[in-house]
Amino acid sequence: MFDEMLLENGTVRPHYAGFDRWKSSRESGFLESKKAEADHLFRQVGITFSVYGDDVGTERLIPFDLVPRIIPASQWARLEKGLAQRVQALNLFLKDVYGRGDILRAGIIPANRVLGNAQFRKEMLELNVPSGIYSMIAGIDLVCVGEDEWYVLEDNLRVPSGVSYMLENRKMMMRLFPDLFSAHRIAPVAHYPDLLLETLRQGAPDAQEDPTVVVLTPGLYNSAYFEHAFLAQQMGVELVEGKDLIVEDDTVYMQTTHGKKRVDVIYRRIDDDYLDPEVFNADSMLGVRGLMRAYRAGRVTLANAVGTGVADDKSIYPYVPDMIRFYLGQEPILHNVPTHICSEADSLSYVLDNLEKLVVKEVHGAGGYGMLIGPSASKAEIAEFRAKLIAQPDAYIAQPTLSLSTCPTMVEKGIAPRHIDLRPFVLTSPSGVRMVPGGLTRVALQEGSLVVNSSQGGGTKDTWVAAD
């Protein structure tokens, strides 16, 4: 198990030395008191998240850990290049499969795996997306397993969430520990909303000089509503629901107290199925009737584009390195976790024989649900999953159980190592690919757990990219 702060002999790694000296100089109980202060402040701000199946209730505070995750600047530089490369290839893949289909004709990816995918939207065929950018905002999940040894765990190209927690975590740390920040050179993240707004505005159709951008939310009862409202406020744009928008003459308008105002870019936080009852779910009360007509006419930009889910589906994930080679003529900088595609007979046989060693995931699953973690599963759970795999093998992939890196984390009995991952947020516009240094570090708060998802009770840390 790789500890990001400590060497095997217990010596503190160089990039954590300053923090360790600072922590050692604090009085006993100092961090505990600051933790209580942080919880109080987060409760005032109203930062909550849904924990499904929690007997305590659906809404709770995101657990926030005061020990930062520190990444040396030299290590981040490599990650940044790898992330930019990956997202560029994924966007080219989406443009291709909804257009010429070169990668399918070349046999790089089985055509049925794409065209028969539940996330493939035939409505997007031959539709011209501005600048060919399908995913303006991507969240790429990374895990570290050793010294400068990182893997991409998952791509999120639809409506990736969590950036508000990245920003609020940093604000909280700076408020609680100003002396700590003054003693370190930490790359800033506060400019993310400015980068996001610029990215969205650059993606506007018809080269609008002063495009109107809105954030489209499902509403107050969505688990990520805080983030929707937060980002709209930070960008200085309107937060709207479907009922606030109308389509006339293939143009989207926002109804305001001063009359109708054209909308050029919609940062939508609603899934494809609910966007337009004319085209998708006819019973949807969340979307905008006629939105796809306006989209197809090139009168509005949707970020992210409809149909991006086919590129982040777990059944497509194993082929991303091949996409990079096919579209960019480059070797991947960041590697995938080795993956067994259960729809293939040989892979299925291996997975069934080794369930107790593997992590098995639903190809359409999210949030850490619908998965089996073999080493920690009971015999009954393994037997249940075995039956599911045999019945529907094309619905699953399997991966080895990675030894995720750990970072010291505040727990009930002091500070102890807990497993973490990292979600950087990657923005793509006609100007290129940009991101703020770091991202959202999620932490599995239960001892030994590898599940970091907030929806299942995981917590978050501030992520520092610090000068070497």
Burial grade of 304 (CB within 10 A; 0-12, 13-18, 19 or more):
buried
Can you tell me the mean pLDDT for 81-96? 98
d(C-alpha 408, C-alpha 412), whole Å: 13
Greatest CA separation for the chain: 69
Can you tell me the mean pLDDT for 392-403? 90
Band (pLDDT 50/70/90 cuts) for residue 411 is confident
Q: Which two tokens stand for residue 26?
A: 């604090």
pLDDT digits (tens, 9 = 90+) for 134-188: 999 999 999 999 988 999 999 999 999 999 999 999 999 999 999 999 889 999 9
DSSP-derived pairing of the beta strands 432-435 and 425-429? antiparallel
Please name the residue ranges forming H helices in 203-332.
225-235, 291-296, 309-312, 320-323
pLDDT at 59: 60
pLDDT at 403: 83
Residue 420 falls inside a structural domain: no
The structure tokens 């703020």 sit at: 436
Q: Are residues 211 and 272 in the same domain?
A: yes
Q: What is the CATH number of the domain that holds 354?
A: 3.30.1490.270
Q: Are residues 294 and 197 in the same domain?
A: yes
Q: Are residues 354 and 297 in the same domain?
A: no
Band (pLDDT 50/70/90 cuts) for residue 56 is very low
Burial grade of 431 (CB within 10 A; 0-12, 13-18, 19 or more):
exposed
Residue 449 falls inside a structural domain: no
Burial grade of 335 (CB within 10 A; 0-12, 13-18, 19 or more):
middle
pLDDT at 57: 46
Task: With H, G, I as helix, E, B as strand and everything else as coil, classify residue 181.
Answer: helix
Q: Please state, for a pLDDT cut of 90, what percent of the chain lies above it.
A: 77
Q: Are residues 252 and 197 in the same domain?
A: yes
Q: Are residues 297 and 349 in the same domain?
A: no
Residue 315 falls inside a structural domain: no
Instruction: Give yes or no for residue 288 having a pLDDT over 50.
Output: yes
pLDDT at 155: 96
Residue 185 falls inside a structural domain: no
pLDDT at 222: 87
Q: Are residues 258 and 355 in the same domain?
A: no
Peptide bond between residue 112 and the one before it cis (omega within 30 degrees of 0): no
Band (pLDDT 50/70/90 cuts) for residue 40 is confident
Can you tell me the mean pLDDT for 66-84? 96
Instruction: Please give the tally of structural domains in the chain.
Output: 2
b/e map of 112-141 (b: 16 or more CB within 10 Å)? ebbeebebbbebbeebebbbebbbbbbbbb
Task: Give the closest residue to 82 by CA, choosing from 94, 72, 70, 90.
Answer: 90
Q: Are residues 210 and 296 in the same domain?
A: yes
pLDDT digits (tens, 9 = 90+) for 305-361: 999 999 999 999 999 999 999 999 999 999 999 999 998 999 999 999 999 999 999
Q: Are residues 203 and 277 in the same domain?
A: yes
Task: With H, G, I as helix, E, B as strand and everything else as coil, classify residue 20.
Answer: helix
Residue 454 falls inside a structural domain: no
b/e map of 349-383 (b: 16 or more CB within 10 Å)? eebbeebeebbbbbbeeeebebbbbbeebeeeeee
Q: Provide the domain limits for residue 198.
A: 191-303
Q: How far is CA 336 from the centre of its chain?
A: 16
Answer with the residue of higher pLDDT: 121 or 412.
121
Task: Give the closest residue to 393 by CA, choosing from 433, 344, 438, 353.
Answer: 344
Instruction: Give yes or no for residue 402 having a pLDDT over 50.
Output: yes
d(C-alpha 274, C-alpha 272), whole Å: 6
Domain end, chosen from 253, 278, 303, is at 303
Which residues 6+ apart lie within 8 Å of 129 measured at CB? 95, 98, 305
Residue 210 falls inside a structural domain: yes
Q: What is the CATH number of the domain that holds 234?
A: 3.40.50.11290
Band (pLDDT 50/70/90 cuts) for residue 277 is very high
Phi first, then psi: what are they for 423, rounded to 5°? -120, 95
Domain end, chosen from 400, 420, 454, is at 400
Residue 264 falls inside a structural domain: yes
Instruction: Give yes or no for residue 50 having a pLDDT over 60.
Output: no
Q: Which two tokens stand for residue 186?
A: 């930490």
Residue 235 falls inside a structural domain: yes
Instruction: Give yes or no for residue 58 having a pLDDT over 60.
Output: no
**Least confident piece of the model among 58-62, 239-243, 408-412:** 58-62
